[in-house]
Amino acid sequence: MTGNARKGPKNSADKKPTGRTESFEGLKKLLTYYQEITDTIREPFVILDKDLCVVTANLAFYNTFEVLKKDTEGKLIYKLGNNQWEIPELRKLLEDILPKDKIMNDFEVTHDFPDIGHKTMLLNARQIDHKQLILLAIEDTTQQKKVQSDNEQMTASLVKQRDKLKALGDTKDDFIMMASHQLRTPATIVKQYTSMLQEGYAGELSEEQLKMLDSAIVSNQRQLEIIEDLLRVARVDDGKVYLEKSEHDAVQLVQNVIEGQQITFDNRNQRIVFKKPTAKISAIIDPKLMSMVLENLLDNASKYSPESKTITVSLKQNKKETIFTISDKGVGVLKKDQHKLFKKFSRIDNALSIATTGTGLGLYWVKKIVELHDGTIDVISKKDHGSVFTIRMPTLT
């Protein structure tokens, strides 16, 4: 009998792999590759299949969320840890957002886990391999969020305290200005009447009466100086001091100030030396206020120097700066006290401070005026060896 014999089915071992088998083998290779990668990642990392079941996770995931590998792999992510991962935001990401966008970065999720407590997490997800796998990286930002929240609360508290202090400062400055204005008028009237008495408008006074009157005049003058200091500082703190700057001969300015102070130095048996530059030096300044600054510094140098000492003034200029320097050989200031010099109502204890009157406002005001000129003032001082005050101001360009 001839004819083609019907061949039986081949042995299953001889069959060619189907497309499904090839896909499965490829997926296994991919998972092995991904597992090698995830093991090197410090942050929790998990790989899900398309049905949102855990294929694998790294050690950081197990440690952070206190779950076991045997209770994790193959399980629906929402069911992990007795349904602890049943998180609405996570469902939204995996079921609504990711299928459309394929990628999601820094998706924040907060959740209270029964076993490990409150957690804030940033999720970064990728859908890959034709939607076969989902890579899910989880960054635990709980501590960072707490630090941020604490910082925000601390900042808010500090701002609130600052505002309170500013309000108190404003109230204090307003009070000082109002009180000074109210005090200046009667003090000025007292000055006028005492001067009239001294000049004999009410008749001749005895020697004893004139002596008493002299004391009253000196005290009244001191009172007016204190009031003027308070008003001056209140105005500068309130931003009500406006410079009237112009190009001015700085050498002539210093010369005029020295001449105006000469009688003070003569009365104290002190000598003042001006190292006058040979070239003309011009500066853009408010001459009235800068004269007052220099007068204050020279008066301080005189007050805190013993009799017969010399105070030296120098002036120089380069392309960047105009530099005024006042140096003395007085009592000086300890290094630990130098930071107090330019503070309001601050006076330094030394051999001459008891005998010297002052409000502790002069150098504070000086610094403010120099800064309004975009300048700086600093001091170098040594106890019993004197002080050097240096003002640096931008040179005219």
Query: Which CATH number covers residue 80?
Result: 3.30.450.20
pLDDT at 142: 84
Q: What is the rounded distance in angstroms from the CA atom of residue 128 to the CA atom of residue 297? A: 77
Tell me the pLDDT tens digit for each residue of 166-210. Answer: 777 677 667 666 766 677 778 888 888 888 988 888 888 888 988
Same structural domain for residues 271 and 221? no
Task: Find the CATH number of the domain harbouring 253.
Answer: 3.30.565.10
Same structural domain for residues 260 and 383? yes
Same structural domain for residues 229 and 260? no
pLDDT at 176: 67
Residue 392 CA: distances (Å) to CA of 3, 26, 168, 324, 363: 119, 77, 33, 7, 15
Contact 390, 377 (CB under 8 A): yes
pLDDT at 291: 93
Task: Find the CATH number of the domain harbouring 163.
Answer: 1.10.287.130
253 in a domain, yes or no? yes
Same structural domain for residues 275 and 160? no
Q: Based on the structure, what is the number of domains in the chain?
A: 3
Same structural domain for residues 213 and 283? no
Question: Tokens 């009244």 — which residue?
Answer: 220
pLDDT at 189: 86
366 in a domain, yes or no? yes
Same structural domain for residues 251 and 389? yes
Can you give the residue range of the structural domain that contains 151? 147-237
32 in a domain, yes or no? yes
338 in a domain, yes or no? yes
pLDDT at 6: 41
8 in a domain, yes or no? no
pLDDT at 12: 41
Two tokens, residue 102: 């394929």
Indicate the pTM of the whole model: 0.52
Same structural domain for residues 213 and 250? no
13 in a domain, yes or no? no
Q: What is the rounded distance in angstroms from the CA atom of residue 370 to the CA atom of residue 374? A: 7
pLDDT at 388: 94
Nearest to 148 by CA among 186, 125, 120: 120
Q: Of 89, 111, 140, at which residue does a domain stop?
A: 140
Q: Of 237, 255, 286, at which residue does a domain stop?
A: 237
- For each of the chain's 397 residues, which pLDDT tens digit applies? 444 444 444 444 444 445 545 555 655 566 666 666 666 678 899 989 889 999 888 888 888 888 888 989 899 999 888 888 888 988 898 988 888 888 888 888 888 888 788 888 888 998 886 667 888 998 888 888 888 878 888 888 888 888 887 777 677 667 666 766 677 778 888 888 888 988 888 888 888 988 888 888 888 887 777 778 778 888 888 787 888 999 999 999 999 999 998 988 998 899 999 999 988 999 999 999 999 999 999 998 998 898 889 999 999 999 899 999 999 998 888 888 887 888 877 766 655 554 555 567 889 999 999 999 999 999 999 888 889 999 999 986 5
Same structural domain for residues 335 and 378? yes
Same structural domain for residues 58 and 164? no
Helix axes 287-303, 362-372, angle to 10 degrees: 150
1 in a domain, yes or no? no
Same structural domain for residues 254 and 370? yes
Q: Of 217, 237, 257, at which residue does a domain stop?
A: 237
Helix axes 287-303, 250-267, angle to 10 degrees: 30
Contact 265, 295 (CB under 8 A): no
Same structural domain for residues 199 and 261? no
Contact 322, 390 (CB under 8 A): no
Contact 62, 68 (CB under 8 A): yes
9 in a domain, yes or no? no
Calculated CA dihedral for residues 259, 264, 267, 269, nearest 10 degrees? -70
Same structural domain for residues 266 and 228? no
